[in-house]
């Protein structure tokens, strides 16, 4: 019998989520699973690396992300232009822009708050971010609405006379700190009516998961997230049954196989 691995744990989490179970229920079941692993090791029946259990990412439910993002967007979707809305609600605009960038690029919270204006290429719709180990990478902003939001925010910085090099700013105009953003995001989660707050790490994981479910090669996801090893990406993300079903349907092995047989048969004549 093979050993229990991280893939099995991720598959378990996803199967529970696919059944519609609440996150709290899943967390309780994971706690029970940890206890079971401890007992197996103590009894000498099997050794299971509990470090793998600790690497399981916390994932925000899709509906929670939708509600949170809808709440944040509501501040800039009223009457008037996007520029005027951003100008009238600078703090909310900062949170919305940070959340949008993390969902699109999968950047870490420190990387997002560390984005420098000089590293933004509006024409090329790309941003150069500084990741762990002083490794630079380029992320892309393909969404047109997000591009408009970014432009409006840059104009707001100029109007407010903000001179520091960082894109995002706090309430007093100073560079937005990761901890301040976490607090703002927590408050926004509560204001949006969520049972549990969404963390920056959840946004990063959501970005990676959505890309994998859309069929993006995991090597591209690894590059986008700035992982030195693809093993980290495999632990950090999970491929959903939806993506697997889509891939299998696209392959359509039986139909392709039968077509090849028919073509091979016709070629004899």
Q: Which residues constitute the domain of residue 117?
A: 62-204
47, 132, 135, 245: the active-site residue: 132
In a domain, 256, yes or no: no
Q: What is the C-alpha separation between 1 and 158, in angstroms, rounded?
A: 63
pLDDT in tens, 151-170: 999 999 999 999 999 999 99
In the chain, which residues have pLDDT < 50? 1-2, 239-242, 262-263, 265-269
Provide the number of structural domains found in the chain. Answer: 2
| Any domain includes 67 | yes
Respond yes or no: is residue 132 known to be catalytic. yes
Same domain, 11 and 70: no
pLDDT (0 to 100) of residue 35:
80
Residue 239 has a pLDDT of: 47
Active site residue 140: no
CA 222 to CA 47: how far, in whole Å? 30
Domain co-membership, 85 together with 168: yes
As beta bridge partners, residue 130 has 136
In the annotation, is 108 catalytic? Answer: yes
Residue 255 maps to a domain: no
| Same structural domain, 26 and 145 | no
Dist. CA 231–CA 50, nearest whole Å: 17
Say how far apart CA 112 and CA 109 lie, in whole Å.
5
Note if 204 is an active site residue.
yes
Domain annotation covers residue 238:
no
Statement to judge: residues 148 and 27 lie in one domain = no
Q: Assign residue 141 the CATH number of its domain.
A: 1.10.443.10
**Boundary (domain end) residue, out of 181, 204, 227:** 204
The pLDDT score that the predictor gives to residue 265 is 47
pLDDT of residue 57: 58
pLDDT of residue 122: 95
- Cα angle 256, 261, 266 (rounded to 5 degrees) comes to 125
Structure confidence by residue, pLDDT tens digits, 27-41: 788 778 778 877 877
Q: Which two tokens stand for residue 160?
A: 């407010």
d(CA 220, CA 211): 9
67 is catalytic: no
Catalytic residue among 108, 157, 197, 205: 108
Active site residue 47: no
Does residue 85 fall inside a structural domain? yes
Question: Could you give the 3-state DSSP secondary structure of residue 141?
Answer: coil
User: What is the model's pLDDT at position 37?
Assistant: 76
CA distances from 143 to 15, 89, 159 (A): 31, 22, 25
């Amino acid at each position: 019998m093979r050993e229990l691995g991280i893939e099995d744990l991720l598959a378990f989490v996803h199967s529970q989520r696919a059944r519609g179970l609440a996150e709290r229920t899943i967390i309780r079941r994971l706690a029970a699973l940890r206890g079971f692993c401890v007992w197996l090791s103590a009894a000498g029946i099997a050794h299971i690396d509990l470090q793998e259990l600790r690497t399981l990412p916390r994932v925000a439910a899709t509906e929670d992300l939708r509600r949170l993002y809808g709440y944040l967007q509501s501040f800039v979707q009223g009457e008037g232009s996007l520029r005027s809305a951003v100008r009238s609600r600078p703090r909310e605009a900062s949170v919305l822009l940070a959340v949008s960038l993390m969902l699109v690029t999968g950047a870490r919270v420190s990387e997002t708050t560390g984005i420098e204006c000089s590293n933004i290429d509006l024409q090329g719709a790309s941003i150069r971010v500084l990741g762990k180990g002083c490794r630079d990478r380029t992320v892309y902003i393909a969404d047109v609405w997000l591009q408009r939001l970014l432009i409006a925010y840059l104009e707001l910085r100029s109007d407010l006379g903000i001179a520091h090099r960082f894109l995002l700013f706090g309430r007093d105009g100073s560079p937005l700190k990761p901890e301040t953003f976490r607090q703002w995001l927590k408050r926004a989660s509560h204001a949006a009516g969520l049972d549990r707050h969404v963390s920056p790490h959840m946004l990063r994981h959501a970005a990676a998961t959505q890309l994998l479910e859309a069929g993006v090669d995991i090597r591209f996801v690894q590059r986008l997230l700035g992982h030195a090893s693809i093993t980290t990406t495999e632990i950090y993300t999970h491929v959903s049954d939806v993506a697997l079903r889509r891939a299998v349907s696209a392959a359509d092995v039986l139909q392709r196989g039968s077509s090849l047989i028919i073509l091979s048969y016709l070629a004899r004549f």
